[in-house]
Amino acid sequence: MIIMAVDLGLVRTGIAVSDEGGGFAFPKEVITEKDENKLISKVSAAAREYGAGRIVVGLPRNMDGTSGERALACERIAKSISEISGIETVLYDERCTTVTAHTYLSMNNVRGRKRKERVDAVAATVILEDYLRSIKK
């Protein structure tokens, strides 16, 4: 089953997908959309396009494990994505994934505009890799 991960942002949302066997995660795209309803539609369309059987939405918890405003918004958006797409949607803790994505991009000497364009898709890939590891345990 292909699993798609979503790193929701206020402006840019990263998308990553796994292979059929769930062994690898690949960055796919960044959706630039501020309107929540349009974003939900675009993410749902991407899930159908990639043939996702499950959608993993990053849940940005605070470092102490509590849920702030952004986490609550992500929960609401994830529920809407599930309703619109008809695809099982799960939330997955994404603490520090953007930091990890920036580290990966720095290690590969990706800077400036290219970094800004790619960091969200790479963050979605980090979320997906962590999720895939967690379900294999």
What does the pLDDT look like over 46-100, one tens digit per residue? Answer: 999 999 999 999 998 766 767 678 889 999 999 999 999 999 999 998 865 665 6
Cα 10 from Cα 45, distance rounded (Å): 19
Give the CB-side neighbour count of residue 61, counting CA atoms within 13 A: 9
Strands (E), the chain: 2-7, 12-18, 25-32, 52-59, 88-93
Query: Residue 44 half-sphere exposure, CB side, CA atoms within 13 Å?
Result: 17
* pLDDT, tens digit (0-9, with 9 covering 90-100), for 26-51: 999 999 999 999 999 999 999 999 99
Instruction: Report the helix count and the strand count for the chain, using DSSP H and E.
Output: 4, 5
- Say what the pLDDT of residue 55 is: 98
CA separation for the pair 39, 113 (Å, rounded): 22
pLDDT at 115: 46
CATH 3.40.50.2300 fits 2-136, yes or no: no
Q: Give the global pTM.
A: 0.85
For residue 65, CA distances in Å to 5, 68, 131 come to 21, 9, 17
| Residue 60 one-letter amino acid | P
